[in-house]
């Protein structure tokens, strides 16, 4: 039986690895999800046979309740709410790690070795930070807590004190087997999770979501050691490592330091206030008909989607417009910034939902060289990721951040509800350029008007 369990867990682990590999490409993502589901089902079934006197009815009841809630949320969640849903799921992973560690410590008649205590300590404090940090991230993304960064004097010093306190109480637990010290450590870790996220502005939330994904993986891996569950260790390590790699890639895309992300300090310097003096600047506005005429007569059009596209759910109408232009000989492509939207891959998922061909969706590194040859760039709901201040204004908080170089196109059209600043609270000089035309209104209505004009 022991050998069979090891083989089944090994198969599950391989399926999880194949799942991550499949998710690396839109073309193989469906297969990757299938591998992941099969691997998880196999791991759960195997766990029933190796658990020590499991309470089957209680486990099945919890699984059923979770499946019902999960299926309901998956079917009803709006595309705009996907980032906060992911943050909420991360919080549940962290909470699970904490509760498992507490249950293991208070399990009567069970003693833990020094190494097991270290594993419990690591899994619990990472899980506690993941839980509270994810709750705050959820609140910021959903607007319940506000997206503004919260900073106060001595913030980093307080964080350092809390880290030292966590290590101190953790040591007391490991060496003295003090259950109260363990609970105090968990409480401090929960507070630290909050303090790590509050100084991060809403515009930087995509990296936070990615980093919390990594934290949840490491928390699961830590608890896997406690439970002596190899598949949990492997799956947690894969999630933790992939999340960390993605966070590093996104930090490069935002010109941020991965160390400052880990310390919860980056984003603090970003100004969250509204733009000063934007009302005095001149800009040129036009109608949807004007925009349609320009695109009809263009040879090459690049579309830059942003969070505003998700809010208005204009992706299907936009794809219809794209298909119509392509049928008339216009080369239409979509440009994707790594941190567009409010979570990694948000725009990719949005466009996939509208069945945009994968070969039409191009990442920033590949598309930037093509903006100078584009006749028209249509920006819908994007702001900070096309802000030229990142290139030419050393005083800007986003200076040095790689952007989609839409300003190089012959004509730039921006669909926005108003001239208000984007999520980062920064004005955008692109909107006031001579070759930029603002088209005001709800993105879906504007695109539908463009579609009618092209017909």
Question: Which CA distances in Å does 249 have to 93, 172, 243, 345?
Answer: 23, 38, 10, 12
DSSP letter (8 states) at residue 369:
G
> What does the alpha-carbon distance between residue 455 and residue 326 come to, in Å, rounded to a whole number?
13
Q: What are phi and psi of 437, to 5 degrees?
A: -120, 125
> What does the alpha-carbon distance between residue 306 and residue 342 come to, in Å, rounded to a whole number?
9
> What does the alpha-carbon distance between residue 81 and residue 144 come to, in Å, rounded to a whole number?
12
Strands (E), 314-427: 331-336, 361-363, 376-380, 411-416
Q: State the distance between the two ends of the chain, measured CA to CA, in whole angstroms.
A: 67
Helix (H), strand (E) at residue 440: strand 436-440
Tell me the β-bridge partners of 302. 333, 377
> What does the alpha-carbon distance between residue 294 and residue 253 come to, in Å, rounded to a whole number?
31
C-beta neighbour count of 276 within 10 angstroms:
9
Q: Of the listed 290, 375, 384, 434, which one is catalytic? A: 384
Q: Six-digit token pair at 346?
A: 């948000």
Whether residue 408 contacts residue 371, with contact meaning beta carbons closer than 8 Å, is answered with yes
Q: Six-digit token pair at 334?
A: 């979509």
Pairing of the two strands 300-305 and 376-380: parallel
Q: Is position 384 annotated as part of the catalytic site?
A: yes
> What does the alpha-carbon distance between residue 106 and residue 126 come to, in Å, rounded to a whole number?
19
Q: Write the secondary structure of 397-425 as one string of H (helix), E (strand) and C (coil).
A: CCCCCCCCCHHHCCEEEEEECCCCCCCCC
Whether residue 85 contacts residue 70, with contact meaning beta carbons closer than 8 Å, is answered with no
Q: Six-digit token pair at 260?
A: 């400052």
Helices within 106-204 (DSSP H only)? 114-142, 155-176, 179-197
Contacts of 91 (CB under 8 A, 6+ apart): 130, 131, 132, 134, 135, 138
DSSP letter (8 states) at residue 285:
B
Contacts of 451 (CB under 8 A, 6+ apart): 292, 317, 320, 321, 324
Catalytic residue ranges: 384
């Amino acid at each position: 039986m022991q050998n069979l369990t090891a083989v089944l867990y090994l198969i599950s682990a391989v399926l999880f690895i194949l799942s991550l590999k499949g998710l690396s490409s839109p073309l193989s993502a469906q297969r990757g999800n299938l591998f992941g589901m099969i691997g998880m089902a196999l791991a759960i079934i195997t766990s029933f046979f190796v658990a020590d006197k499991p309470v089957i009815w209680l486990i099945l009841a919890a699984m059923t309740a979770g499946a019902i809630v999960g299926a309901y949320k998956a079917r009803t969640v709006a595309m705009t709410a996907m980032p906060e849903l992911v943050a909420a799921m991360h919080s549940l992973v962290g909470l699970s790690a904490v509760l498992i560690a507490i249950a293991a410590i208070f399990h009567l008649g069970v003693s833990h070795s020094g190494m097991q205590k270290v594993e419990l300590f690591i899994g619990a404090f990472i899980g506690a930070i993941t839980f509270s940090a994810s709750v705050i991230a959820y609140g910021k993304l959903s607007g319940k807590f506000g997206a503004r960064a919260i900073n106060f004097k001595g913030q980093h010093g307080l964080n350092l004190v809390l880290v030292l306190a966590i290590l101190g109480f953790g040591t007391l637990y490991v060496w003295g087997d003090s259950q109260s010290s363990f609970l105090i450590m968990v409480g401090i870790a929960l507070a630290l999770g909050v303090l790590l996220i509050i100084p991060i502005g809403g515009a930087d939330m995509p990296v936070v979501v990615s980093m919390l994904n990594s934290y949840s993986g490491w928390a699961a891996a830590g608890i896997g050691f406690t439970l002596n569950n190899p598949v949990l260790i492997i799956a947690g390590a894969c999630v933790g490592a992939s999340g960390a790699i993605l966070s590093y890639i996104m930090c490069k895309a935002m010109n941020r330091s991965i160390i400052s992300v880990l310390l919860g300090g980056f984003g603090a310097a970003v100004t969250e206030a509204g733009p000063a003096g934007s009302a005095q600047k001149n800009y040129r506005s036009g109608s949807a008909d004007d925009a349609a005429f320009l695109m009809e007569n263009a040879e090459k059009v690049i579309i830059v989607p942003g969070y505003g596209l998700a809010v208005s759910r204009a992706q299907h109408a936009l794809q219809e417009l794209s298909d119509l232009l392509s049928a008339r000989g216009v080369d239409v492509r979509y440009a994707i910034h790594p941190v567009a939207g409010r979570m990694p891959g948000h725009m990719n998922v949005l466009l996939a939902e509208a069945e945009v061909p994968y070969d039409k969706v191009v990442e920033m590194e590949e598309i930037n060289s093509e903006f100078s040859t584009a006749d028209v760039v249509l920006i819908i709901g994007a702001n900070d990721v096309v802000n030229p201040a990142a290139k030419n204004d050393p005083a800007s908080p986003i200076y040095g951040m790689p952007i989609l170089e839409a300003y190089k196109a012959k004509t730039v059209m921006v669909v926005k509800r108003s001239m208000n600043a984007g999520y980062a609270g920064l004005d955008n000089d692109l909107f006031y350029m001579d070759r930029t035309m603002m088209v005001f209104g709800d993105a879906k209505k504007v695109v539908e008007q463009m579609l009618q004009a092209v017909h």
